[in-house]
Structure 1
Protein backbone atom coordinates (compact mmCIF):
# COMPACT_ATOMS: atom_id res chain seq x y z
CA UNK A 1 0.00 0.00 0.00
CA UNK A 2 2.80 2.39 0.84
CA UNK A 3 4.51 1.66 -2.51
CA UNK A 4 1.24 2.20 -4.39
CA UNK A 5 0.65 5.54 -2.64
CA UNK A 6 4.20 6.64 -3.48
CA UNK A 7 3.75 5.74 -7.18
CA UNK A 8 0.40 7.53 -7.33
CA UNK A 9 1.87 10.68 -5.85
CA UNK A 10 4.77 10.55 -8.32
CA UNK A 11 2.42 10.17 -11.30
CA UNK A 12 0.23 13.04 -10.13
CA UNK A 13 3.30 15.24 -9.77
CA UNK A 14 4.53 14.28 -13.24
CA UNK A 15 1.12 15.03 -14.70
CA UNK A 16 1.15 18.46 -13.15
CA UNK A 17 4.49 19.16 -14.78
CA UNK A 18 3.40 17.90 -18.21
CA UNK A 19 -0.03 19.56 -18.27
CA UNK A 20 1.19 23.08 -19.20
CA UNK A 21 3.31 21.59 -21.98
CA UNK A 22 0.38 19.65 -23.38
CA UNK A 23 -2.16 22.46 -23.33
CA UNK A 24 0.05 25.46 -24.11
CA UNK A 25 -0.57 26.76 -27.67
CA UNK A 26 2.30 26.84 -30.11
CA UNK A 27 3.93 30.24 -30.47
CA UNK A 28 2.55 32.32 -33.29
CA UNK A 29 5.24 33.73 -35.54
CA UNK A 30 4.41 35.17 -38.92
CA UNK A 31 4.43 38.84 -40.03
CA UNK A 32 2.86 42.32 -40.15
CA UNK A 33 3.38 45.72 -41.77
CA UNK A 34 5.61 47.93 -39.68
CA UNK A 35 5.99 50.88 -42.08
CA UNK A 36 3.85 52.83 -42.59
CA UNK A 37 2.55 51.52 -39.26
CA UNK A 38 -0.41 49.18 -39.55
CA UNK A 39 -3.20 49.07 -36.99
CA UNK A 40 -1.62 46.14 -35.18
CA UNK A 41 1.75 47.90 -35.24
CA UNK A 42 0.18 50.93 -33.53
CA UNK A 43 -1.31 48.57 -30.96
CA UNK A 44 2.05 46.89 -30.32
CA UNK A 45 3.81 50.25 -29.95
CA UNK A 46 1.02 51.63 -27.69
CA UNK A 47 0.47 54.63 -29.99
CA UNK A 48 -3.31 54.36 -29.71
CA UNK A 49 -5.56 55.84 -27.02
CA UNK A 50 -7.61 52.68 -26.46
CA UNK A 51 -7.13 49.07 -25.45
CA UNK A 52 -6.36 46.78 -28.41
CA UNK A 53 -6.59 43.55 -26.47
CA UNK A 54 -4.37 40.60 -27.32
CA UNK A 55 -3.14 41.84 -30.72
CA UNK A 56 -0.85 44.32 -28.94
CA UNK A 57 1.25 41.34 -27.80
CA UNK A 58 1.33 39.50 -31.14
CA UNK A 59 0.90 41.88 -34.11
CA UNK A 60 2.38 39.18 -36.35
CA UNK A 61 -0.51 36.78 -35.75
CA UNK A 62 -3.41 38.34 -37.65
CA UNK A 63 -4.03 35.14 -39.60
CA UNK A 64 -7.28 33.86 -41.11
CA UNK A 65 -8.55 32.06 -44.23
CA UNK A 66 -7.80 33.72 -47.56
CA UNK A 67 -10.24 36.04 -49.26
CA UNK A 68 -11.42 38.23 -46.39
CA UNK A 69 -11.76 41.99 -46.80
CA UNK A 70 -11.61 42.64 -43.04
CA UNK A 71 -8.58 44.06 -41.25
CA UNK A 72 -8.69 41.09 -38.89
CA UNK A 73 -9.25 38.65 -41.75
CA UNK A 74 -12.36 37.58 -39.87
CA UNK A 75 -10.19 36.11 -37.11
CA UNK A 76 -10.13 36.82 -33.40
CA UNK A 77 -8.62 40.32 -33.34
CA UNK A 78 -11.89 42.10 -34.19
CA UNK A 79 -10.73 45.40 -32.69
CA UNK A 80 -8.82 45.88 -35.95
CA UNK A 81 -12.11 46.01 -37.88
CA UNK A 82 -13.54 48.89 -35.84
CA UNK A 83 -13.23 51.90 -38.16
CA UNK A 84 -14.93 54.15 -35.60
CA UNK A 85 -11.88 54.02 -33.32
CA UNK A 86 -9.37 56.90 -33.64
CA UNK A 87 -6.70 54.98 -35.54
CA UNK A 88 -3.65 57.19 -36.25
CA UNK A 89 -3.17 58.14 -39.90
CA UNK A 90 0.21 58.38 -41.59
CA UNK A 91 0.73 61.14 -44.15
CA UNK A 92 2.27 59.74 -47.33
CA UNK A 93 2.78 60.66 -50.97
CA UNK A 94 1.04 58.99 -53.89
CA UNK A 95 3.95 56.52 -54.00
CA UNK A 96 4.84 54.66 -50.80
CA UNK A 97 6.87 51.60 -49.79
CA UNK A 98 5.10 49.05 -47.62
CA UNK A 99 7.46 47.14 -45.31
CA UNK A 100 6.53 43.75 -43.87
CA UNK A 101 8.43 42.41 -40.86
CA UNK A 102 8.32 38.60 -40.93
CA UNK A 103 9.02 36.25 -38.06
CA UNK A 104 8.31 33.13 -40.12
CA UNK A 105 9.03 33.02 -43.83
CA UNK A 106 6.09 31.08 -45.29
CA UNK A 107 6.08 30.08 -48.96
CA UNK A 108 4.09 32.84 -50.65
CA UNK A 109 1.73 32.96 -53.60
CA UNK A 110 0.80 36.65 -53.76
CA UNK A 111 0.75 39.92 -51.82
CA UNK A 112 -2.39 41.97 -52.45
CA UNK A 113 -3.11 45.60 -51.62
CA UNK A 114 -6.63 47.04 -51.55
CA UNK A 115 -7.46 50.75 -51.26
CA UNK A 116 -10.86 51.25 -49.62
CA UNK A 117 -11.88 47.75 -50.68
CA UNK A 118 -10.67 47.97 -54.28
CA UNK A 119 -7.69 45.94 -55.49
CA UNK A 120 -4.87 48.37 -56.27
CA UNK A 121 -1.73 46.26 -56.80
CA UNK A 122 -0.64 42.62 -56.62
CA UNK A 123 2.87 41.19 -56.27
CA UNK A 124 3.35 37.53 -57.26
CA UNK A 125 6.04 35.47 -55.49
CA UNK A 126 5.17 32.23 -57.26
CA UNK A 127 5.54 30.08 -54.14
CA UNK A 128 8.97 31.38 -53.09
CA UNK A 129 9.95 31.92 -49.47
CA UNK A 130 10.43 35.61 -48.70
CA UNK A 131 13.23 37.18 -46.62
CA UNK A 132 12.65 38.52 -43.11
CA UNK A 133 11.92 41.99 -44.47
CA UNK A 134 9.71 42.38 -47.54
CA UNK A 135 9.05 45.71 -49.26
CA UNK A 136 6.56 46.61 -51.99
CA UNK A 137 6.22 50.03 -53.61
CA UNK A 138 2.66 51.17 -54.26
CA UNK A 139 2.16 53.87 -56.88
CA UNK A 140 -0.62 56.20 -58.00
CA UNK A 141 -2.45 56.17 -54.70
CA UNK A 142 -5.48 58.47 -54.78
CA UNK A 143 -5.37 61.64 -52.68
CA UNK A 144 -7.23 61.87 -49.39
CA UNK A 145 -7.88 59.65 -46.38
CA UNK A 146 -7.83 55.93 -47.13
CA UNK A 147 -7.42 52.55 -45.49
CA UNK A 148 -5.08 50.17 -47.28
CA UNK A 149 -5.77 46.49 -46.63
CA UNK A 150 -2.75 44.26 -47.24
CA UNK A 151 -3.18 40.51 -47.70
CA UNK A 152 -0.22 38.09 -47.62
CA UNK A 153 -1.42 34.84 -49.21
CA UNK A 154 0.50 31.77 -48.06
CA UNK A 155 1.15 29.27 -50.86
CA UNK A 156 0.87 25.96 -48.99
CA UNK A 157 -2.02 26.64 -46.56
CA UNK A 158 -5.56 28.00 -46.82
CA UNK A 159 -4.62 31.03 -44.72
CA UNK A 160 -3.43 34.56 -45.28
CA UNK A 161 -2.05 37.29 -43.01
CA UNK A 162 -3.79 40.66 -42.85
CA UNK A 163 -2.79 44.23 -42.05
CA UNK A 164 -4.65 47.53 -42.42
CA UNK A 165 -2.78 50.82 -42.80
CA UNK A 166 -4.61 54.13 -42.35
CA UNK A 167 -3.10 56.89 -44.48
CA UNK A 168 -3.62 60.40 -45.74
CA UNK A 169 -2.31 60.69 -49.28
CA UNK A 170 -1.15 64.21 -50.00
CA UNK A 171 0.02 65.99 -53.10
CA UNK A 172 3.70 65.26 -52.53
CA UNK A 173 3.91 62.57 -55.18
CA UNK A 174 5.54 63.29 -58.51
CA UNK A 175 2.74 63.14 -61.03
CA UNK A 176 3.87 63.41 -64.67
CA UNK A 177 2.90 66.51 -66.59
CA UNK A 178 0.15 66.04 -69.19
CA UNK A 179 1.46 65.03 -72.59
CA UNK A 180 0.87 67.53 -75.40
CA UNK A 181 -1.58 66.39 -78.05
CA UNK A 182 0.50 64.94 -80.90
CA UNK A 183 0.23 66.49 -84.31
CA UNK A 184 -1.51 64.29 -86.89
CA UNK A 185 0.96 62.39 -89.02
CA UNK A 186 0.71 60.33 -92.14
CA UNK A 187 1.39 56.64 -91.42
CA UNK A 188 4.32 55.08 -93.20
CA UNK A 189 4.19 51.85 -95.19
CA UNK A 190 2.70 49.00 -93.14
CA UNK A 191 1.85 51.19 -90.15
CA UNK A 192 -1.64 51.41 -88.65
CA UNK A 193 -3.22 54.84 -88.89
CA UNK A 194 -2.50 56.19 -85.37
CA UNK A 195 -0.05 58.92 -84.29
CA UNK A 196 2.24 56.39 -82.55
CA UNK A 197 2.02 53.75 -85.26
CA UNK A 198 0.04 51.24 -83.10
CA UNK A 199 -3.51 49.91 -83.27
CA UNK A 200 -3.99 50.64 -79.55
CA UNK A 201 -5.27 54.07 -78.55
CA UNK A 202 -2.66 56.62 -77.60
CA UNK A 203 -1.94 56.93 -73.85
CA UNK A 204 -3.73 59.87 -72.16
CA UNK A 205 -2.61 61.25 -68.79
CA UNK A 206 -6.18 61.88 -67.64
CA UNK A 207 -7.53 58.39 -68.40
CA UNK A 208 -7.80 55.58 -65.82
CA UNK A 209 -6.35 52.24 -67.00
CA UNK A 210 -6.76 48.85 -65.38
CA UNK A 211 -5.10 45.44 -65.68
CA UNK A 212 -4.83 44.35 -69.33
CA UNK A 213 -5.51 47.75 -70.94
CA UNK A 214 -3.15 48.49 -73.84
CA UNK A 215 -1.97 51.86 -75.08
CA UNK A 216 0.47 53.19 -77.64
CA UNK A 217 3.04 55.80 -76.73
CA UNK A 218 6.24 56.99 -78.39
CA UNK A 219 6.11 54.31 -81.07
CA UNK A 220 5.80 51.48 -78.52
CA UNK A 221 2.98 49.32 -77.21
CA UNK A 222 2.33 49.06 -73.45
CA UNK A 223 0.00 46.96 -71.27
CA UNK A 224 -1.21 47.95 -67.77
CA UNK A 225 -0.50 45.51 -64.93
CA UNK A 226 -2.91 47.15 -62.48
CA UNK A 227 -4.99 50.30 -61.92
CA UNK A 228 -3.18 53.48 -62.93
CA UNK A 229 -3.79 57.14 -63.64
CA UNK A 230 -1.30 59.66 -64.97
CA UNK A 231 1.79 57.40 -65.00
CA UNK A 232 3.71 57.86 -68.26
CA UNK A 233 4.44 54.42 -69.79
CA UNK A 234 7.86 55.57 -70.97
CA UNK A 235 8.86 56.25 -67.35
CA UNK A 236 7.39 53.11 -65.81
CA UNK A 237 10.51 50.91 -65.75
CA UNK A 238 10.73 47.16 -65.17
CA UNK A 239 8.83 47.20 -61.86
CA UNK A 240 6.29 49.88 -62.77
CA UNK A 241 2.66 49.62 -63.73
CA UNK A 242 3.27 49.40 -67.51
CA UNK A 243 4.62 46.33 -69.31
CA UNK A 244 6.59 47.28 -72.46
CA UNK A 245 5.42 45.03 -75.30
CA UNK A 246 7.94 46.39 -77.78
CA UNK A 247 8.03 48.66 -80.80
CA UNK A 248 4.95 48.93 -83.01
Structure 2
Protein backbone atom coordinates (compact mmCIF):
# COMPACT_ATOMS: atom_id res chain seq x y z
CA UNK A 1 0.00 0.00 0.00
CA UNK A 2 2.84 2.36 0.88
CA UNK A 3 4.46 1.61 -2.46
CA UNK A 4 1.19 2.40 -4.32
CA UNK A 5 0.88 5.74 -2.48
CA UNK A 6 4.43 6.56 -3.59
CA UNK A 7 3.57 5.75 -7.22
CA UNK A 8 0.42 7.88 -7.12
CA UNK A 9 2.36 10.76 -5.57
CA UNK A 10 4.93 10.53 -8.34
CA UNK A 11 2.23 10.55 -11.02
CA UNK A 12 0.66 13.63 -9.43
CA UNK A 13 3.98 15.48 -9.55
CA UNK A 14 4.43 14.58 -13.23
CA UNK A 15 0.87 15.70 -14.01
CA UNK A 16 1.51 18.96 -12.22
CA UNK A 17 4.66 19.58 -14.24
CA UNK A 18 2.83 18.88 -17.52
CA UNK A 19 -0.08 21.12 -16.56
CA UNK A 20 2.29 23.87 -15.52
CA UNK A 21 4.13 23.63 -18.80
CA UNK A 22 0.84 23.98 -20.68
CA UNK A 23 -0.11 27.08 -18.70
CA UNK A 24 3.31 28.63 -19.23
CA UNK A 25 3.09 28.00 -22.96
CA UNK A 26 -0.30 29.69 -23.18
CA UNK A 27 0.75 32.58 -20.96
CA UNK A 28 3.81 33.29 -23.06
CA UNK A 29 1.84 33.48 -26.30
CA UNK A 30 1.99 37.25 -26.56
CA UNK A 31 2.74 39.91 -29.14
CA UNK A 32 2.42 43.59 -30.06
CA UNK A 33 3.09 46.02 -32.90
CA UNK A 34 6.54 47.60 -32.75
CA UNK A 35 6.77 49.38 -36.13
CA UNK A 36 5.27 51.90 -36.42
CA UNK A 37 5.32 52.00 -32.62
CA UNK A 38 1.96 51.11 -31.11
CA UNK A 39 0.62 52.87 -28.04
CA UNK A 40 1.87 50.13 -25.73
CA UNK A 41 5.25 50.12 -27.46
CA UNK A 42 5.55 53.89 -26.92
CA UNK A 43 4.70 53.33 -23.25
CA UNK A 44 7.34 50.62 -22.91
CA UNK A 45 10.08 52.81 -24.37
CA UNK A 46 9.15 55.87 -22.30
CA UNK A 47 8.16 57.83 -25.40
CA UNK A 48 4.96 59.27 -23.94
CA UNK A 49 4.72 62.50 -21.93
CA UNK A 50 2.56 60.76 -19.33
CA UNK A 51 2.72 57.65 -17.15
CA UNK A 52 1.02 54.70 -18.86
CA UNK A 53 0.86 52.52 -15.76
CA UNK A 54 1.57 48.80 -15.83
CA UNK A 55 1.41 48.45 -19.62
CA UNK A 56 4.90 49.98 -19.84
CA UNK A 57 6.26 46.76 -18.31
CA UNK A 58 4.32 44.32 -20.48
CA UNK A 59 3.45 45.73 -23.93
CA UNK A 60 2.98 42.16 -25.18
CA UNK A 61 0.12 41.43 -22.81
CA UNK A 62 -2.85 43.33 -24.29
CA UNK A 63 -4.93 40.16 -24.51
CA UNK A 64 -8.72 39.98 -24.36
CA UNK A 65 -11.65 38.02 -25.84
CA UNK A 66 -11.93 38.04 -29.62
CA UNK A 67 -13.90 40.67 -31.51
CA UNK A 68 -13.21 43.89 -29.62
CA UNK A 69 -12.58 47.17 -31.42
CA UNK A 70 -10.87 48.79 -28.42
CA UNK A 71 -7.15 49.46 -28.22
CA UNK A 72 -7.16 47.59 -24.90
CA UNK A 73 -9.35 44.82 -26.30
CA UNK A 74 -11.63 45.57 -23.35
CA UNK A 75 -8.94 44.51 -20.86
CA UNK A 76 -9.58 46.92 -17.96
CA UNK A 77 -5.99 46.65 -16.74
CA UNK A 78 -4.85 48.48 -19.87
CA UNK A 79 -7.77 50.89 -20.27
CA UNK A 80 -5.41 53.84 -20.68
CA UNK A 81 -4.77 52.65 -24.24
CA UNK A 82 -8.37 53.59 -25.10
CA UNK A 83 -7.98 57.19 -23.91
CA UNK A 84 -7.86 59.26 -27.10
CA UNK A 85 -7.61 62.48 -25.10
CA UNK A 86 -4.01 61.58 -24.24
CA UNK A 87 -1.27 63.17 -26.39
CA UNK A 88 -0.24 59.93 -28.06
CA UNK A 89 2.79 60.49 -30.34
CA UNK A 90 1.82 60.33 -34.03
CA UNK A 91 4.07 58.78 -36.68
CA UNK A 92 4.31 60.34 -40.15
CA UNK A 93 3.97 57.51 -42.70
CA UNK A 94 3.44 56.92 -46.41
CA UNK A 95 0.19 55.68 -47.94
CA UNK A 96 1.63 52.16 -48.29
CA UNK A 97 2.26 51.29 -44.67
CA UNK A 98 4.20 48.26 -43.39
CA UNK A 99 3.12 47.11 -39.93
CA UNK A 100 5.39 44.76 -37.96
CA UNK A 101 4.45 42.59 -35.00
CA UNK A 102 6.92 41.17 -32.47
CA UNK A 103 5.73 37.82 -31.11
CA UNK A 104 7.13 36.40 -27.89
CA UNK A 105 5.48 33.10 -28.79
CA UNK A 106 4.37 31.83 -32.18
CA UNK A 107 0.78 30.96 -31.42
CA UNK A 108 -1.44 29.28 -34.02
CA UNK A 109 -3.19 32.13 -35.81
CA UNK A 110 -6.68 32.47 -37.21
CA UNK A 111 -6.28 35.93 -38.71
CA UNK A 112 -4.72 39.38 -38.60
CA UNK A 113 -7.11 42.30 -38.98
CA UNK A 114 -6.49 46.01 -39.42
CA UNK A 115 -9.11 48.66 -38.70
CA UNK A 116 -8.64 52.30 -39.75
CA UNK A 117 -10.67 54.66 -37.57
CA UNK A 118 -12.94 51.75 -36.64
CA UNK A 119 -13.50 50.47 -40.19
CA UNK A 120 -12.07 47.14 -41.34
CA UNK A 121 -9.35 47.88 -43.91
CA UNK A 122 -7.52 44.57 -44.38
CA UNK A 123 -7.71 40.94 -43.23
CA UNK A 124 -4.96 38.34 -43.53
CA UNK A 125 -6.17 34.79 -42.90
CA UNK A 126 -3.59 32.33 -41.56
CA UNK A 127 -6.02 29.41 -41.12
CA UNK A 128 -4.34 28.15 -37.94
CA UNK A 129 -0.75 28.40 -39.17
CA UNK A 130 2.13 29.14 -36.83
CA UNK A 131 3.62 32.59 -37.53
CA UNK A 132 7.25 33.64 -37.40
CA UNK A 133 8.64 35.60 -34.45
CA UNK A 134 8.32 38.75 -36.55
CA UNK A 135 5.32 39.30 -38.84
CA UNK A 136 4.89 42.19 -41.29
CA UNK A 137 1.83 43.14 -43.33
CA UNK A 138 1.38 46.03 -45.77
CA UNK A 139 -1.68 48.27 -45.78
CA UNK A 140 -1.84 49.76 -49.30
CA UNK A 141 -3.27 53.12 -50.35
CA UNK A 142 -4.19 54.45 -46.93
CA UNK A 143 -6.18 57.71 -47.10
CA UNK A 144 -4.29 60.91 -46.26
CA UNK A 145 -4.54 62.44 -42.81
CA UNK A 146 -4.36 61.38 -39.19
CA UNK A 147 -5.75 57.98 -38.26
CA UNK A 148 -5.75 55.47 -35.44
CA UNK A 149 -5.16 51.95 -36.74
CA UNK A 150 -6.23 48.99 -34.61
CA UNK A 151 -4.22 45.84 -35.31
CA UNK A 152 -5.89 42.64 -34.05
CA UNK A 153 -4.14 39.26 -33.87
CA UNK A 154 -6.79 36.55 -33.42
CA UNK A 155 -5.56 33.24 -32.01
CA UNK A 156 -6.81 30.01 -33.58
CA UNK A 157 -6.97 27.69 -30.58
CA UNK A 158 -8.05 30.00 -27.74
CA UNK A 159 -10.94 32.42 -27.24
CA UNK A 160 -8.63 35.44 -27.15
CA UNK A 161 -6.93 37.96 -29.41
CA UNK A 162 -4.12 40.49 -28.98
CA UNK A 163 -4.61 44.19 -29.66
CA UNK A 164 -2.37 47.11 -30.67
CA UNK A 165 -3.31 50.65 -31.70
CA UNK A 166 -1.07 52.83 -33.85
CA UNK A 167 -1.46 56.59 -34.36
CA UNK A 168 -0.29 57.72 -37.80
CA UNK A 169 -0.37 60.74 -40.10
CA UNK A 170 -0.51 59.47 -43.67
CA UNK A 171 1.42 61.77 -45.96
CA UNK A 172 2.41 63.97 -43.03
CA UNK A 173 5.74 65.76 -43.08
CA UNK A 174 5.64 68.16 -40.16
CA UNK A 175 3.57 68.89 -37.11
CA UNK A 176 1.15 66.23 -35.94
CA UNK A 177 -0.83 68.50 -33.63
CA UNK A 178 -4.24 67.33 -34.75
CA UNK A 179 -4.89 69.92 -37.44
CA UNK A 180 -6.08 67.20 -39.81
CA UNK A 181 -8.43 65.77 -37.14
CA UNK A 182 -8.33 62.28 -38.64
CA UNK A 183 -10.71 63.14 -41.48
CA UNK A 184 -10.40 61.21 -44.72
CA UNK A 185 -12.04 63.61 -47.15
CA UNK A 186 -8.92 65.48 -48.28
CA UNK A 187 -8.29 63.18 -51.22
CA UNK A 188 -11.75 63.61 -52.75
CA UNK A 189 -12.42 67.33 -52.40
CA UNK A 190 -12.22 68.09 -56.11
CA UNK A 191 -8.51 68.95 -56.15
CA UNK A 192 -5.85 66.78 -57.78
CA UNK A 193 -4.59 64.81 -54.75
CA UNK A 194 -2.88 67.89 -53.33
CA UNK A 195 -0.41 68.14 -56.21
CA UNK A 196 -2.01 71.35 -57.50
CA UNK A 197 -4.31 74.04 -56.18
CA UNK A 198 -7.21 72.95 -58.36
CA UNK A 199 -6.23 74.97 -61.44
CA UNK A 200 -5.05 71.88 -63.33
CA UNK A 201 -7.53 69.11 -64.02
CA UNK A 202 -6.05 65.82 -65.27
CA UNK A 203 -7.27 64.27 -68.48
CA UNK A 204 -9.82 61.51 -68.18
CA UNK A 205 -8.73 57.96 -68.93
CA UNK A 206 -10.66 55.23 -70.71
CA UNK A 207 -14.30 54.96 -69.75
CA UNK A 208 -15.08 52.34 -67.13
CA UNK A 209 -16.47 49.08 -68.53
CA UNK A 210 -18.46 46.89 -66.15
CA UNK A 211 -17.37 43.75 -68.02
CA UNK A 212 -13.67 44.56 -68.07
CA UNK A 213 -11.07 43.30 -65.60
CA UNK A 214 -8.93 45.97 -63.92
CA UNK A 215 -5.76 45.33 -61.96
CA UNK A 216 -3.81 47.42 -59.44
CA UNK A 217 -3.05 50.90 -60.80
CA UNK A 218 -5.56 50.83 -63.65
CA UNK A 219 -7.14 54.26 -64.31
CA UNK A 220 -10.65 54.81 -65.62
CA UNK A 221 -13.12 57.63 -66.14
CA UNK A 222 -16.68 57.45 -64.81
CA UNK A 223 -19.20 60.30 -64.70
CA UNK A 224 -16.51 62.92 -65.26
CA UNK A 225 -14.19 61.71 -62.50
CA UNK A 226 -10.92 59.81 -62.61
CA UNK A 227 -10.45 56.62 -60.57
CA UNK A 228 -7.53 54.28 -59.84
CA UNK A 229 -7.95 50.61 -58.96
CA UNK A 230 -6.32 49.51 -55.68
CA UNK A 231 -6.49 45.82 -56.55
CA UNK A 232 -8.05 43.38 -59.04
CA UNK A 233 -11.67 44.17 -59.76
CA UNK A 234 -14.52 43.61 -62.20
CA UNK A 235 -18.06 44.92 -62.13
CA UNK A 236 -17.59 47.27 -59.14
CA UNK A 237 -18.83 50.72 -60.13
CA UNK A 238 -16.35 53.56 -59.45
CA UNK A 239 -17.74 56.00 -56.92
CA UNK A 240 -19.95 53.41 -55.24
CA UNK A 241 -17.41 51.43 -53.20
CA UNK A 242 -16.59 54.07 -50.56
CA UNK A 243 -13.20 55.21 -49.35
CA UNK A 244 -12.23 51.70 -48.23
CA UNK A 245 -13.31 50.09 -51.50
CA UNK A 246 -11.37 49.15 -54.59
CA UNK A 247 -11.52 52.53 -56.35
CA UNK A 248 -9.54 55.63 -55.35
CA UNK A 249 -11.31 58.81 -56.44
CA UNK A 250 -8.70 61.10 -58.04
CA UNK A 251 -11.15 63.94 -58.53
CA UNK A 252 -12.67 65.61 -61.57
CA UNK A 253 -11.08 65.01 -64.95
CA UNK A 254 -11.17 66.76 -68.31
CA UNK A 255 -12.62 64.87 -71.25
Per-residue deviation, residues 103-151 of structure 1 (Å, max 9, x unmatched):
0111001100000000001111111000000000001111111000000
Separation in 2 of the partners of 1:61 and 1:133? 16
Residues 147 and 164 of structure 1 are in contact (CA less than 8 Å); yes or no, is this contact kept in structure 2?
yes
- Which runs of structure 2 are paired with 1:91-170 in the superposition (5 Å)? 91-170=92-171
Question: What is residue 245 of structure 2 aligned with on the other side?
Answer: 227
Separation in 2 of the partners of 1:131 and 1:31? 11
Question: What is residue 38 of structure 1 aligned with on the other side?
Answer: 38
Match of 1:214 among 204, 209, 234: 234
- Which runs of structure 2 are paired with 1:179-194 in the superposition (5 Å)? 180-182=204-206
Per-residue deviation, residues 183-227 of structure 1 (Å, max 9, x unmatched):
7xxxxxxxxxx8696499x955845989996249xxxxxxxxx73
Q: Which 4+ stretches in 1 moved above 2 angstroms?
A: 25-29, 178-183, 194-200, 202-216, 226-231
Q: How many residues align?
A: 188
State the shift of 1:93 in Å.
0.7
Residues 71 and 149 of structure 1 are in contact (CA less than 8 Å); yes or no, is this contact kept in structure 2?
yes
Question: What is residue 74 of structure 1 aligned with on the other side?
Answer: 74
Separation in 2 of the partners of 1:208 and 1:71? 32
Identify if the C-alpha distance between structure 1 residues 82 and 72 changes in structure 2 by more than 3 Å, giving closer, same or farther: same
Q: Name the SS for the 1:94 alignment partner.
A: coil
Question: What is residue 5 of structure 2 aligned with on the other side?
Answer: none
Q: TM-score, normalised by structure 2?
A: 0.63
